[in-house]
Amino acid sequence: MIDSTQSFQFFNRGPSPVARLVFFAVLSLLLLFVDARYRYLESTRSALSVLISPIQRLAALPDALWQQVGDFFITQSRQHDLIRQNDDLKLQHQNDAAQLLQLQALELENQHLRNLDALPIRSQFTTQLVQVIYAERDVFRRKVLIDKGADADVKLGQVVMDDVGIIGQITRVYPWLSEVTLITEKNQAVPAQVLRNGLRTIVFGAGDISQLSLRYMPASADIQIGDVLVTSGIDGTYPPGIPVAKVITIERDPDYPFSNVTCLPIAGVDNHRHLLILSDMPKLPQRPDEKSGASNAGNRVKFRRSN
C-alpha cells in the first residue's frame, strides 16, 4: 500500500516556493539593471509592445465606446442648448435693434424740435407748433394735413415752415385740421430773390418733392448754379429772408429768350413731422383795380388835353 505522504511528495518535485520567489526576484533585479545600464532589452520591449498592442486596444474598446456614447449625448444636449441660446440672442438682437432705431428717431425728432425752438424768426412772429398727421395719397398732389385747425385760430394763407426753410401754405382750414399745400405742388408760386445779388423772381412747384423751377428767367439774368433763393416778402404772403431753394441746373439756349432753371427745395418738404405756422404778415394796402387804374389814366389824359 502506497503512503499518501509519498504520493503528495511525488507531485511537488523541484525548488520550494521561497526559492522560486528569491530566484525570480533576483532575475528581475538583474534584468532591470542590465536594461537600465546597457539597454539590451529595447528591441525586445518594442517587439512585445507590437504583439500586445492589439490586445490592449481590444481591452480598451468597451471603455472607448462608452466614452463616445457619453460624449455623443453630451454634445447633443449642449448643441440643443446652444441653438436655443442662439435663437434667444437673435431675438434679443432684433429687439435691441428696433429699440435703437426708435431711440435714433426720437433723437432726430428732439433735435428738430430744438432747432424749431431756436429759430430767430420766432421772436418776430407768433408761431404755432403743429404735427403732420396725414399725407395726400395722390402722389401728384403735394399736400399734408396738420393737427391744428379753426379751433387753434389757424387761418388761410398762413406760412408753414420747418427749421431751415419754407414748407408751404395753409390752403384749407377744418374745425380741428388744416390742409397745407407744399411749395412743390404744381404751379404753387413763391415770390423769391437771389440772396447773392437781390435779383427778384418767382419759384414755381413742379409736382416733384425734389424739384422747383424758375419760369421766364431771362437768358441774360445774373444767376448761377449754387445760388440760394430766399423769400422776397413781396405780396405780403411770405416773410422776407426765409430760404426757399437752391439752384442746381441752368440751361441756356441761344434760340430762346428764357433760361430753364431748376432748383432744389432747401426745406424738408417730405421729411419732418413737426412744423411751425407763422402768424399773419402785416397787411399791405389793397392793390388797385386795373379798371380803376385805366379810368384814372384816361382822366389824366383828358386833363392834359384840356390844359
- Mean pLDDT for the chain overall: 80
Q: Is residue 206 part of a domain?
A: yes
Q: Is residue 231 part of a domain?
A: yes
pLDDT tens profile 113-133: 676 666 666 667 788 889 999
Distance, in Å, from the CA atom of 238 to the CA atom of 215, rounded to the nearest integer, reads 19
Q: Is residue 170 part of a domain?
A: yes
3-class SS of residue 249:
strand
Distance, in Å, from the CA atom of 262 to the CA atom of 259, rounded to the nearest integer, reads 10
Q: Is residue 111 part of a domain?
A: no
3-class SS of residue 127:
strand
Q: Is residue 74 part of a domain?
A: no
Q: Is residue 242 part of a domain?
A: yes
Share of the chain above pLDDT 90, in %: 21
Which pLDDT band holds residue 1 (cuts at 50, 70, 90)?
very low
Could you give the number of structural domains in the chain? 1
Three cell numbers at 152? Answer: 387753434
pLDDT tens profile 186-211: 888 999 999 999 899 999 998 888 88
Query: Structural domain of residue 152, as residue ranges?
Result: 127-278
- Residue 188, domain CATH: 2.40.10.340
pLDDT tens profile 35-61: 777 666 677 777 777 777 788 778 777
Residue 282 has pLDDT above 70, yes or no: no
For 69, other C-beta atoms within 10 Å of its C-beta total 10
For 300, other C-beta atoms within 10 Å of its C-beta total 10
DSSP string, 187-243: T-EEEEEETTT--EEEEEEEEETTEEEEEEEETTS---TT-EEEE--GGGSS-TT-E
Q: Is residue 213 part of a domain?
A: yes
The predicted structure's pLDDT at residue 174: 93
Q: Is residue 267 part of a domain?
A: yes
User: Cell numbers 432744389 label which residue?
Assistant: 264
Distance, in Å, from the CA atom of 279 to the CA atom of 124, rounded to the nearest integer, reads 10
